C-alpha cells in the first residue's frame, strides 16, 4: 500500500492552559491520523513538548504576558491580554504558513483564543472553534451577553 495522501493543511491555535492543551493535542493527533498535515500555533507560555508529537509542526508566538498578570488570578484580564498580544503575531504566522504551503484548509482555534476568528475572516479562511469546556459551562455562555450588558462580565 502506498503512502497516505494528505487531506490538507490545518492550523490549530491553542491557549496555554493544560485543560485546553491536552484536548487540542488529542484533536491534532486524530486529524493527522486522518491524513491532514497539522501545524499548531501556540503562545510562549506553557509551550507543548514538540518531541512528544513529531508528526506535528509547532510554532510559538509571543504572548507578552507578565508574571504579575498571571499571579493576579484575573482570568478574564489574562484572556483579554492574550488575545490582544497574540493577534498580530498570529496573523503574521498564518500569512507565513499560507506563503509556505500555498493553502490552509481551516483554522481550528480554542474558544478562548477568540482573536483567531477575526484573523481567519480577514484571510478568507474557514475558522472552527474547539470548545474544551464541559456541557454545563456551555450553558453559561447563553448568559454572557446579559452579564456583559449589566457590566458584570469583563
Is residue 129 within 8 A of residue 104, CB to CB? The reply is no
Is residue 78 within 8 A of residue 70, CB to CB? The reply is yes
Catalytic residue (choose from 32, 74, 110, 122):
110
Is 42 among the catalytic positions? no
Query: pLDDT band at residue 1, thresholds of 50, 70 and 90?
Result: very low
Instruction: Tell me which fold the domain 8-149 belongs to.
Output: Rossmann fold (3.40.50)
Catalytic residue (choose from 9, 20, 42, 63):
20
Is residue 15 within 8 A of residue 43, CB to CB? The reply is yes
- Rounded to 5 degrees, what are φ and ψ at 144? -55, -45
What span, in angstroms and rounded, lies between the C-alpha atoms of 67 and 56? 29
Angle subtended at Cα 64 by Cα 147 and Cα 99, rounded to the nearest 5 degrees: 100
Least reliable range by pLDDT among 93-102, 126-135, 140-149: 140-149
pLDDT tens per residue across span 57-112: 999 999 998 777 777 777 778 888 899 999 999 999 999 999 998 899 999 999 99
The pLDDT score that the predictor gives to residue 144 is 73
The pLDDT score that the predictor gives to residue 6 is 56
Is 110 among the catalytic positions? yes
The mean per-residue pLDDT over the stretch 108-122 comes to 95
pLDDT tens per residue across span 2-45: 444 457 999 999 998 888 999 999 999 999 999 999 999 999 98
The pLDDT score that the predictor gives to residue 8 is 93
Cα distances from 130 to residues 28, 52, 72, 96, 97, in angstroms, run 11, 22, 26, 23, 21
**Other Cβ atoms within 10 Å of 48 Cβ, number:** 20
The pLDDT score that the predictor gives to residue 139 is 76
Break the chain into its structural domains and give their ranges: 8-149
The pLDDT score that the predictor gives to residue 4 is 47
Q: How far apart are the first and last CA of the chain?
A: 55
Residues 6+ apart with CB under 8 A from 91: 119, 122, 123
Amino acid at each position: 500500500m502506498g503512502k497516505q495522501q494528505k487531506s490538507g493543511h490545518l492550523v490549530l491555535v491553542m491557549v496555554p492552559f493544560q485543560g485546553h492543551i491536552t484536548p487540542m493535542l488529542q484533536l491534532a493527533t486524530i486529524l493527522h491520523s486522518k491524513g491532514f498535515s497539522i501545524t499548531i500555533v501556540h503562545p510562549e507560555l506553557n509551550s507543548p513538548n514538540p518531541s512528544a508529537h513529531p508528526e506535528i509542526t509547532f510554532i510559538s508566538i509571543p504572548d507578552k504576558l507578565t508574571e504579575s498578570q498571571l499571579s493576579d488570578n484575573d482570568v478574564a484580564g489574562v484572556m483579554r491580554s492574550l488575545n490582544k498580544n497574540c493577534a498580530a503575531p498570529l496573523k503574521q504566522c498564518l500569512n507565513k504558513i499560507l506563503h509556505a504551503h500555498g493553502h490552509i484548509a481551516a483554522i481550528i482555534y480554542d474558544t478562548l483564543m477568540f482573536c483567531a476568528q477575526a484573523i481567519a475572516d480577514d484571510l478568507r479562511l474557514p475558522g472552527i472553534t474547539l470548545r474544551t469546556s464541559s456541557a454545563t459551562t456551555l450553558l453559561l455562555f447563553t448568559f454572557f451577553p446579559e452579564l456583559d450588558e449589566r457590566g458584570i462580565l469583563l
